[in-house]
Amino acid sequence: MKISEILSTNGHSVSFEVFPPKRDAPMEPVLDAVKELAGVKPSFISVTYGAGGGANANTVALAEHVQKTCAVPALAHLTCLTSSREKIASEIQALRRAGIENILCLRGDDPDAESNGGKRDFAYAADLVRTLRPSSFCLGGACYPECHPQCAHLEADIAHLKAKVEAGLDFLTTQMFFDNNVYFRYLARLRNAGITIPVIAGIMPVTNGRQISRICKLSGTVLPPRFRAIVDRFGDDPSAMLSAGVTYATEQIIDLFADGVNAVHVYTMNKPEVAKRIMANLKGIVNV
């Protein structure tokens, strides 16, 4: 099923994210985690590509497992910065063969700017969107309510985003944010700029207090004082941080739904326990 169809229905959509195992790591634990995640009936599950140490080679296989074994629509991420046109064409063929209908078109990052001899077939995600748009895939893209860290200011980032959307995107998913006002202000600016496609709100249930400060620094995400106090107080106690992180994320989701947002994407990071607790908290609010 296409994500554009899911988003066009009136109900609330809650989706999850998983990452494939690192190269040479066994696939079974991740397959089991995905099965458990599917058990709480998300609207779709997205599978990252090369992010968080996950190997690209397993993205298609994991997305196929999501769809064929777990009967949940899959969204396969695909990055382009370090790929040639031939590599992208072969990834697309593999996704088609696996029956995947949804692709999150990403630029990705390149720690070694000179890789591939400095030659780029794709400089930005918009170039990937232009390549894929003639196809029937449902295409999503990433967006950054607190500005992409490599862009000088939000206005320029939104202008680039507009070009990416006009290249043929069907929906957007935001970077994580911890203050819903950030999302609402951003959404207003996107609508003012003439970006009208759905913008799925990205929510990160923080379960590791130590990691989050580093991630936020890299991504430019601001930790509001209320949440910083939670991390300061409970960050060193995994069980307390799990409860506090799940509660904070649930409150964010309920507030978003109450204010008319229909779709949230939860960065569940292969943790079914987190997804189960959030969905239990949303019982009666989200129909599964």
106 lies in the binding site for ligand FAD (CB under 6 A): yes
**Using CB under 6 A, which residues numbered 123 to 142 contact ligand FAD?**
124-126, 142
Tell the smallest beta-carbon distance from residue 16 to ligand FAD (Å).
12
Residue 129 or 230 with smaller CB distance to ligand FAD: 129
13 lies in the binding site for ligand FAD (CB under 6 A): no
Q: How many CB atoms lie within 10 A of CB 130?
A: 17
Tell the smallest beta-carbon distance from residue 17 to ligand FAD (Å).
8
Tell the smallest beta-carbon distance from residue 239 to ligand FAD (Å).
28
CA dist., res. 221 & res. 213, Å (int): 9
48 lies in the binding site for ligand FAD (CB under 6 A): yes
Per DSSP, the residues of the chain read --HHHHHHSSS-EEEEEE-PPPTTS-SHHHHHHHHHHHHT--S-EEE-SSGGG--GGGHHHHHHIIIIIT---EEEEEE-TT--HHHHHHHHHHHHHTT--EEEEE----SSTTGGGG--S-SSHHHHHHHHTTSS-EEEEEE-TT--TTSS-HHHHHHHHHHHHHTT-SEEEEPP-S-HHHHHHHHHHHHHTT--S-EEEEE-----HHHHHHHHHHHT----HHHHHHHHHHTT-HHHHHHHHHHHHHHHHHHHHHTT--EEEE--TT-HHHHHHHHHHTBTTB--
173 lies in the binding site for ligand FAD (CB under 6 A): yes
**Cβ atoms 75, 44 nearer than 8 A:** yes
Binding test (CB under 6 A) with ligand FAD, winner from 150, 188, 215, 238: 150
148 lies in the binding site for ligand FAD (CB under 6 A): yes
102 lies in the binding site for ligand FAD (CB under 6 A): no
Binding test (CB under 6 A) with ligand FAD, winner from 1, 61, 94, 151: 151
Can you give the length of the chain in residues?
288
175 lies in the binding site for ligand FAD (CB under 6 A): yes
The catalytic residue positions are: 17
Tell the smallest beta-carbon distance from residue 46 to ligand FAD (Å).
8
Interface with ligand FAD (CB under 6 A), residue total 24
Tell the smallest beta-carbon distance from residue 237 to ligand FAD (Å).
29
Tell the smallest beta-carbon distance from residue 258 to ligand FAD (Å).
23
157 lies in the binding site for ligand FAD (CB under 6 A): yes
- Binding span for ligand FAD by CB under 6 A among 23-31, 101-109, 130-138, 272-280: 101-109
Give the interface with ligand FAD as residue ranges (CB under 6 A). Answer: 48-51, 77, 79, 104, 106-109, 124-126, 142, 148, 150-151, 157, 160, 164, 173, 175, 202
